[in-house]
Structure 1
Amino acid sequence: MSEARIGFACLYRHSQRSLALKALEAIEKTFNPRTTTLRWLSSATEEAAREKLLQLIEHNLDAQLKLLAYVAQLPPTLRMLRLSSDLLPLYSHPKVASFYRDPVLQAHLQQRFGAIGDFARAAGIRLSFHPGQYCVLGSDKPDVVDNSVAEFEYHADMIRMMGYGQRFQDFKCNVHIAGRLGVEGVRATWPRLSTEARNTITFENEEKVYGVNDCLALADLAPVVLDIHHCWINEETYIPADDPRVDRIIESWRGVRPAMHYSQPPEHLQSLGFGPDVPLEMPALLEKVNKRDLYLHSARMWNHPTNEYALQFLDRFDIMFEAKDKNQATLEFYQRYLLHSH
């Protein structure tokens, strides 16, 4: 398999956190997307709404290219990035759809996204999307499924314009199994997805209802993204790196290097006696906190035993870090655990 990578999600955090807030915001704004609301667009004139959307699109695509340029100058191990879902505001909303169907804008988007895809491929950056919580492909409500398919196909359109989605898992677009119908609901919705959507979709286990075993029930359709933090919460124990299910997860990627997700519970656990070198074991934690408190993500990867556990997977998986400090969390982890091992 190719060299291991670790990555971060969507937003840039500047390294000089001691800067004045306004200075920090000004720097980070150039890397990060902006959006608007349907309420604002509805209250504006048609011309003002159109102008606002065009400005946001240009800013967002410029920002994404700048973020990719930042990632491209990092060591190869750190060249993995989840792109923001907010690049084209309200793209899948029926009230805004006609704006995006304009042929002139379509041609412009094709050119801009094409440049993003070309840059990422030239720099060897592994890309992904993660449509949000409103993408519920297994809902028992037909209108929710319709909206969810439209939202996923919005991501598929961006993937297509970047030149991906042409073969199995040349790009990862990750969702949870969500909705009352679960696995069977997803299977019923599957034929409605475009070729690009089916080539790129992955299913990730979550902490409450649909765990690893549910995702494996869809492994014939799409790869499983193992989230070891969600699995730990759901099963109340760490999934061993040699668990037979891990081999089945790898098999679901059909020869493509698997991607997994990694996060830690918040740093405030240290004030309850769980220091950086104390193993985070569920029974001991539940004596001090509610399980829901563990759903939250930390700013950095502060707990050493948990990091050592995650490192057991790096020989076979690329790892997407889900931490509040984004690129700074992955950079710190790389410098501590990986820099001198290369």
Structure 2
Amino acid sequence: MIIRFGYVSMATALYDASPSKTMTFSRYKQLGKEERAKQLRNITKANLEHTKRALHYNIAHQIHLYRFSSSLVPLATHEEAQWDYLSSFQEEYKEIGELVKKYQMRTSFHPNQFTLFTSDKEHVTANAIKDMEYHYALLEAMGLEKESHINLHVGGAYGDKPSAVERFHENLKQLPPRIKKQMTLENDDKTYTTSETLAICEEENIPMMFDYHHYMANYEKEEKLGDFLPRFYQTWSKNPFPPKLHVSSPKSEKAYRSHADFVDLEFIKPLLKELKSQQVDVDFMIEAKEKDRAVLQLVEDVAKIRGVKRLDGATLEM
């Protein structure tokens, strides 16, 4: 089996390379019309340039997975600050997409926790749709809308999980089919367990993004890795990419749900053992705080296990 590794948004080894620079709406309101437009363009241009720097870093280190920052465009979905963030940067988006395709990288977005479809409030669902449309529009501008994914959590339970799940299915009908097709759903660390998320994915025909750390923080006794992994794989059966997992480890026993700087090999060994026994190629998105450094360190650590062969900078064969 093959495992490829990647990280989230910013290459920490690069100087001043955040692709998530932003501007608050409070700051925006303090500026004049021309200065507002100038600042929005400058920040977006910097974020796109830093994204390209991260992609070139990935190419140099043979890192094949990368999650774009959802904050590429400041105030993109704010009702009082709407602006044309697409036509102004056509060449930048195109260049990013061409790099991704040329070097066969797998990319994605992960909107924040407020983008959800379980709420009983219409404006929450409307905002979720607007945010999904924003992410999809960026992928379209990059030419990646057919291959990149937009990952969400199911959302809140609001004291009545069955009703919340019903609302999820009903509210999701409002999302344009072309966007839903690029959507994935992730199990979370407090509310929706792996089995619950998997059942929703199966009903909606949505690939599941399995988070191992969340599984360990929030699981039912009957949830055994070996039992549900085949169902998880199956949700990706109509996708050209391998099943994708999020991997991290606890910051400490007390702060179990928080992500550590690096990934503790001992923590993920049970996962590696089960994956190896089932021999299905997978991709690992590393969510450790040290991002690219954590990826390269984990690759080194796993490569030392007997029977593991390193194929390139961030790909292993078990």
Superposition TM-score tier, normalisation by shorter sequence: 0.7 to 0.9
The one of 78, 85, 89 aligned to 2:70: 85
**Does the alignment pair 1:332 with 2:292?**
no
Instruction: Tell me if the contact between 1:156 and 1:196 (Cα under 8 Å) persists in the aligned partners.
Output: no
* Other structure's SS at 2:21 match: coil
**Does the alignment pair 1:173 with 2:150?**
yes
The one of 293, 306, 309 aligned to 2:267: 306
Partner amino acid, structure 2, of 1:335: E
Give RMSD over aligned pairs. Answer: 2.1
The one of 190, 195, 219 aligned to 1:208: 190
Unpaired stretches in structure 2, ≥5 consecutive residues? 311-318
Aligned residue number for residue 273 of structure 1: none
Q: Cα 1:30–1:227, aligned 2, differ >3 Å: closer, same or farther?
A: closer
**Does the alignment pair 1:69 with 2:56?**
yes
Higher strand share: 2
By how many angstroms is 1:309 displaced? Answer: 2.2
Taking the aligned partners of 1:79 and 1:106, their CA distance within structure 2 comes to 26
Partner amino acid, structure 1, of 2:285: M
* Other structure's SS at 1:220 match: helix
5 Å matches for 1:1-342?
A: 3-14=2-13, 27-75=14-62, 78-97=63-82, 99-100=83-84, 106-166=86-146, 170-179=147-156, 180=158, 181-218=163-200, 219-221=202-204, 222-235=206-219, 240-243=224-227, 245-256=228-239, 257-266=242-251, 268-269=252-253, 289=254, 293-302=255-264, 304-312=265-273, 313=275, 315-338=280-303, 341-342=309-310
Taking the aligned partners of 1:162 and 1:140, their CA distance within structure 2 comes to 34
Taking the aligned partners of 1:58 and 1:96, their CA distance within structure 2 comes to 17
Partner amino acid, structure 1, of 2:216: W
* Other structure's SS at 1:242 match: helix
By how many angstroms is 1:199 displaced? Answer: 1.7
C-alpha distance after superposition, 1:154-179 (max 9, x if no partner): 1111111111233xxx2121100013
C-alpha distance after superposition, 1:106-137 (max 9, x if no partner): 32333321221111011111101100011122
Unpaired stretches in structure 1, ≥5 consecutive residues? 15-26, 270-288
When normalised by structure 2's length, the TM-score is: 0.86
By how many angstroms is 1:260 displaced? Answer: 0.9
More divergent stretch after superposition (316-325 vs 208-217):
208-217
C-alpha distance after superposition, 1:269-324 (max 9, x if no partner): 5xxxxxxxxxxxxxxxxxxx4xxx2110000113x322322323374321111100
When normalised by structure 1's length, the TM-score is: 0.80
Instruction: Tell me if the contact between 1:6 and 1:318 (Cα under 8 Å) persists in the aligned partners.
Output: yes
| Pairs aligned (count) | 294
* Other structure's SS at 1:5 match: strand
Partner amino acid, structure 1, of 2:77: S
By how many angstroms is 1:236 displaced? Answer: 6.5
* Greater relative contact order structure (CA < 8 Å, 6+ sep): 2
